[in-house]
Amino acid sequence: MNTEQRREIFARFQAANPHPTTELEYTTPFELLIAVILSAQATDVSVNKAMRNLFPVANTPAQIHALGVDGLIPYIQRIGLYRTKAKNVIETCRLLLARHGGDVPRSREELEALPGVGRKTANVVLNTAFGHTAIAVDTHIFRVSNRTGIAPGKNVEEVERKLMKLVPEEFRMDAHHWLILHGRYTCIARTPKCWNCMIADLCEYRPKTPMPAKGV
């Protein structure tokens, strides 16, 4: 895939969705941070349901830390790995209060020093909350990047490096969201909806055509 093909792909994404954003519901960088920590190996739908109950009760580091692990669990127990995530969230709140005055840090290093925050989570917060050019490679972006040929790579780190290099600069800020949404709703894992894909003519994926039955 060449530069002009990539530019056309992202131009189409932009035309269809000029202002993409995360499907996680949040109003502050802290709410986004907690939602993204909880979203690992869980759906945005399940996290949003939990946060609609939690945030009206506690939506600051001090308030959530005051709940403690046992107090937080009832709000998030329908989310996968909720016990581990509860411990990470409470410890993250403690560190935010102790090291950052209750604010969410704006550097990758400080974000990744928080429990439950890896490179992907840090990239989401940096991009979505603070407007940094960053691409968080999740399973959807990894799949779409490889399947389409936009930025093929053997692991998420390689795909991220290639996307940051190969996505035209004018589209780089929003590329993360467009690719996630495309993977979530069109370029799905098992049976991509190529018949309903706005970039099918530019994509390098070619599904195998079923052989006709004998006598047909």
Supply the residues annotated as catalytic.
Answer: 120, 138
* Residue type, position 49, single letter: K
- Record the tokens describing residue 43, joined without a space: 């759906």
115, 87 contact by CB (below 8 A) = yes
In a 3-state reduction of DSSP, which class is residue 133?
coil
CA nearest neighbour of 176 among 4, 2, 13, 7: 13
* CA–CA distance, 145 with 139 (Å, rounded to integer): 10
Q: To 10 degrees, what angle do helices 61-76 and 82-100 make? A: 180
Q: How far apart are CA 124 and CA 208, in angstroms?
A: 35
Phi, psi angle pair for 66, to nearest 5°: -65, -25
